[in-house]
Amino acid sequence: MTFGWLLGMLFFPAQAVPAASPPPDFQSAAGDLEIGLRSVTNGIRVTHLFDRREKVDLLAASGPPLFELKLRRATDGREAALAADAGWSSVALAAGSNGFTLRWEQPLDEAMAGISVAATATAQPRLNAWHWRLRVNNTSQAWGLTRANFPQLAIADLGESGAAFFPRGPGEVQRGVWGRPFAYRGNYTDAWCAMQYMAVYGSPARPTGLYAAMHDPWGSFKHLLLASDPATRSLRLGFEHPTPGLGQPGTGFELCGEAVWRILRGDWFDAARIYREWASTEARWWPRLGPEGRMDTPAWMRELNAWGMSGGPPASCVPAVKTFQEFLGVPVGYHWYNWHQIPFDNDYPHYFPAKDGFPEGVANLQAARVFAMPYINGRLWDTHDRGAGDFEFAAKALAAAAKDLAGKPIVERYGSKETNGEPVTLAVMCPATALWQATVSNIVLRLLQEAGTKAVYIDQVAAATPVACMDPTHGHPLGGGHWWNEGYWNMLAGIRHAMPPGAMLTTECNGEPFIRWFDGYLTWHWQHDGQVPAFPAVYGGTIQMFGRAYRGGPTPAAALRMKAGQQLVFGEQLGWLDPGLVQDPEKEFFRQMVRLRALFNRFFNTGQMARPPGLEGTLPTVKADWQWSKDWWVTTSAVLTGAWQIPAEKRLVCFFVNVSEAPVDTVWRFAPAVYGLGNAPVSVTTCNATGAVAGPVRHEGSFTWTQNLPARQALALEITY
């Protein structure tokens, strides 16, 4: 560790910055990652973030302060801010044996007296990383803290091949963002911000980059920020934390967990492995895994390979679903909407009575190897919950609804109509309340015990952004924090304890903090251009991911092939499409994907994702309208690849799917080190959806696989070592 000219305890008073900036006042290294700090007028700035091995300064010349605090005055609602680089009468740095602590005290605005900040950075030399903690003390009776933006920095241009990763859906990579307007604001945790990390990286010829994460084991409510400034060719990264108390006088803030800056030598997959290593040891939502995978998820769910989705009365949907299953020739899941007599998104949560013949329809499907999973909503109560009238909302539910600062219920609308034609207004229920926990539990257990279903889908839990409930009668911290997650954890733990053996629960989308309490995540929203399977790379083997939205548009055949092929290589259970697939021109392609997945099902529920094979040369691409929201064009490679590994069994499978309408020549050079193998011989068997078609062939370590892959076809290489 290098401390420049600073040793021991140092204090630097506020001072003017000369026209010619001097060397940093302080610098220290954690392995290859060197950080520099300088005192500026009434504050402290980070001056460089230097990769000592590659001799690259990752920090842009201009960027945000290390932190920004948002405050509110109780008397009149006036808002103000304090930042790391301005507004303080006293700043100090204490250097220790493995890091340093920064302190900001005595705001220049005397009305804010009582507010101070301490940030501690701990060096992790082996990891080339700095781990940060932050504490805001506040004894002011006038001002309360509403937001803490920490840590923040701006990354310099990493070149034409530079890339930015952020956790929308399964994860997404955007290139060239330094030179064009680009912004991402993720509301963690919701459908489009599933994890707490981002990454930027250059090309293999310039192997430097940064992994920026919150290692928060409770999954507290936060926002992830990524924004370019083309004028300065910089990319800003930051984390914004709504604070518990949310503006109450005297409230401070302490970061939950640690913020991490770590040199990234690699790409999005390497960043995912870093995050998996942390989550698997510290995240409270990581489930218990054994040699056979996650044993609290029933075997039928772990071994499922395909899903249908429709709804309505049993007489209209059961025959079509059975035909769908017969065509695929494997057990399937069936997501059953509108099994209830109330309209969709209306009169919630009064789902009972069910449509006539519902229990009999469930039994009929299960006898045909179809597992019915009815829909309910896990967040909402209709404020007019019997037609256009108020049945139980005001008298029963209002007290347990989430409230805003004015004490009014927080409501949402989704386009459904009341019987009088007015929009349905749905109140967001607070998961910390006993009423809402009991309400959801009772509905789920009735479906499992009375209707005989093996599964229930609880909508929105891992999809919707937590709301900052300000109702003091609910017994949770007001506003931010991790109480929202804990409320659902308690609810779901109670349900799992009471539900029959062999039953399972799923929810919408893939917000990570609920994995331990659900068996499946509906990944229907994984629809973006540039997406990569980072979420499967982190959480493969911990939860079953299933489903994409299969829709129409001008290019339905290509879109179906792209989605089904991507589902296979991402490790998802395929489909979540209308059982009428049996009439679709691409039905044979879909069945091929399902049956190939079935051959290697064990890899997805007992193994974990390995690095997808990188094919040599420039491959053709495929573009189609995925119809996620009107025109929604997505481009992928014509050949999609994926890899899954069971290290304990010394088995690896690599998939190659040609989703285009023409054959593609492919070349893949297998490097044992990529998959953690030595130079021991490997045995390779080539398979298609019907089984082995070539091999096993023995190779002494590395080998080159050359294949003319036919149009609309997939192959798998099973490698044993």
CB 714 within 8 A of CB 592: yes
1 pLDDT above the threshold of 80? no
Q: Where are the alpha helices (DSSP H) in 616-713?
A: none
> Sorting pLDDT into bands at 50, 70 and 90, what band is 680?
confident
Residue 630 falls in which region: left (phi positive, over 0), alpha (psi -120 to 50) or beta = left
Cis geometry, peptide bond prior to residue 343 (ω within 30 degrees of 0): no
15 pLDDT above the threshold of 70? no
- What tokens were used for 190? 């919701």
How far apart are the C-alpha atoms of 55 and 213, rounded to whole Å? 23
- The enclosing H or E element of 603 equals helix 601-606
368: helix, strand or coil: coil
How far apart are the C-alpha atoms of 108 and 721, rounded to whole Å? 66
Burial classification of residue 207, based on how many CB atoms lie within 10 Å of its CB (0-12 exposed, 13-18 middle, 19 or more buried): middle
434 DSSP assignment: H
What is the structure's pLDDT at 24? 63
- Answering whether pTM is above 0.85, one says yes
Q: Domain 9-282 belongs to what topology?
A: Beta-galactosidase; Chain A, domain 5 (2.70.98)
* CATH of region 609-720: 2.60.40.1180
- What tokens were used for 579? 């059982």
Q: Does domain 300-379+431-522 have CATH number 3.20.20.80?
A: yes
Task: Compute how many other C-beta atoms are within 10 angstroms of the C-beta atom of residue 279.
Answer: 22
Q: Where are the alpha helices (DSSP H) in 174-296?
A: 268-282
pLDDT tens, position by position, 608-642? 999 999 999 999 999 999 999 989 999 999 999 99
Instruction: Look over the chain and give the mean of its residue pLDDT values, rounded to a whole number.
Output: 95
pLDDT tens, position by position, 459-481? 999 999 999 999 999 999 999 99
Do β-strands 455-459 and 426-428 pair in parallel, antiparallel, or remain unpaired?
Answer: unpaired
- What tokens were used for 346? 């209306």
pLDDT tens, position by position, 394-418? 999 999 999 999 999 999 999 999 9
Q: In the chain, pLDDT over 70 holds for what percent of residues?
A: 97
How far apart are the C-alpha atoms of 473 and 457, rounded to whole Å? 29
What is the structure's pLDDT at 677? 93
Task: Compute how many other C-beta atoms are within 10 angstroms of the C-beta atom of residue 18.
Answer: 7
- The enclosing H or E element of 441 equals helix 434-449
Residue 63 CA to its chain's centroid (Å)? 27
Task: Compute how many other C-beta atoms are within 10 angstroms of the C-beta atom of residue 114.
Answer: 17
pLDDT tens, position by position, 32-49? 999 999 999 899 999 999
Report the pLDDT averaged over residues 684-707.
96
User: Residue 602: how many CA atoms within 13 Å on its side-chain side?
Assistant: 11
717: helix, strand or coil: strand
pLDDT tens, position by position, 558-598? 999 999 999 999 999 999 999 998 899 999 999 999 999 99
The residue extents of the domains of the chain are: 9-282, 300-379+431-522, 609-720
